[in-house]
Amino acid sequence: MISLTQSGIHKDYILQASEYGRGHYGVVRKATDRWTGEEVAVKVISKVGDNGGLETHLIQREIDIMKDVDHPNVVRMFACYESRSHFHIVMEPVTGGQLLDRIVAKEHYSETEAADCFLQIISAVKYLHQIGIVHRDLKPENVLYASPDPDSPLKICDFGLSLKSDIEELEAGRARMWSKCGSPDYVAPEVLGRSGYGKECDVWSCGCILYVLLCGFAPFGQDTLRKKFSSICRGKFNFPSPYWDHVSDDAKVRRVEEGRRL
């Protein structure tokens, strides 16, 4: 089990100036293990600074969630360090870019290609649910290719909105969540409601990702948020021609009801 080390990262890793990317949390830098020479990625999160810092308890929650995760389609965390000014999360390097970028470049995937992507994502989601974790922000931006290779495996990342629950309670549907969170194009209808929601919200998001894979755009259009959320709650979406003419009826099956999803 990985624990949070209360010391600086530099005794174990050499941080490089080059970066993998930036986000609202800070920066992901390239680094090298001093003892093995292994290349890693380090997410550097400032407790203070230009980005305002992130609340310490939220960072610690994300670390607590990630430390027990071990699945080929989820970005792995190797170690984490806390100093007075920063958190450093050491992860496997993922260099292939976002799934969203590949979709934009290709315009859309074939059913065979989309099925391969979907199976990897849903396999990871099933695993996360089995260990009590609900991601709550699944979208193509949070699915990465491990390498630039065309057949590179996919990796789910960014557990900043995730929650961990008792496994039995989650599986039985008794672990309910109430926070309104996620991304508008991928949020499940029950998340927008007032009765709470369970792990099925992730399955809905996976369905939205599959929709984007097959046609290149999100299922609920470019309306105002109010109209978009209304369409989501009613399960109102279309398969417009010519974008869906090549897609089979089986690939268009979608369930609004939580209990009827995968």
Q: Identify the CATH number of the domain in which residue 71 sits.
A: 3.30.200.20
Confidence category of residue 260, pLDDT binned at 50, 70, 90: low
pLDDT for res 256: 62
Share of the chain above pLDDT 70, in %: 91
Average pLDDT over residues 30-47: 93
Residues 6+ apart with CB under 8 A from 195: none
Which of the two residues, 129 and 168, has the higher pLDDT score? 129
Residue at token pair 């209304």? 230
80/121 same-domain check: no
pLDDT for res 252: 77
- As to burial, measured by CB atoms within 10 angstroms (0-12 exposed, 13-18 middle, 19+ buried), residue 121 is buried
142/205 same-domain check: yes
> Dihedral, CA atoms, 65, 70, 76, 78, nearest 10 degrees?
80
- Positive/negative CA dihedral, 186, 190, 191, 197: negative
Question: Is the pLDDT reported for residue 49 higher than 60?
Answer: no
Alpha-carbon 238 to chain mean position: 25
142/196 same-domain check: yes
200/111 same-domain check: yes
Residue 253 in any domain: the answer is no
User: Is it true that the peptide bond before 242 is cis, omega within 30 degrees of 0?
Assistant: yes
Domain final residue, candidates 91, 120, 137? 91
Residue 137 in any domain: the answer is yes
Phi-psi region of 249 (alpha: psi -120 to 50; beta: other; left: phi over 0): alpha
54/123 same-domain check: no
pLDDT for res 4: 65
Phi-psi region of 26 (alpha: psi -120 to 50; beta: other; left: phi over 0): left
* Count: domains in the chain: 2
State how far the Cα of 84 lies from the Cα of 186, in Å rounded to an integer.
36
Residue 3 in any domain: the answer is no
Q: First CA to last CA across the chain, in angstroms? A: 31
Average pLDDT over residues 64-78: 94
Q: Active-site residues: which are they?
A: 137
Residue 227, domain CATH: 1.10.510.10
Alpha helices by DSSP H, listed for the chain, are 56-66, 99-106, 111-130, 167-171, 189-192, 200-215, 225-234
Confidence category of residue 259, pLDDT binned at 50, 70, 90: low
Residue 150 in any domain: the answer is yes
How open is the CA angle 128-166-91, to the nearest 5 degrees?
Answer: 40
pLDDT for res 257: 59
77/138 same-domain check: no
Residue 199 in any domain: the answer is yes
Range of the domain at 136: 98-246
pLDDT for res 235: 86
Average pLDDT over residues 229-253: 88
Residue 252 in any domain: the answer is no
Which of the two residues, 90 and 7, has the higher pLDDT score? 90
What rounded mean pLDDT belongs to the chain?
A: 89
133/234 same-domain check: yes
pTM for this entry:
0.89
Give the containing element (helix H, strand E) for 41: strand 39-46
Domain final residue, candidates 38, 72, 91? 91
Residue 257 in any domain: the answer is no
83/116 same-domain check: no
| DSSP-assigned beta bridge partners for residue 171 | none
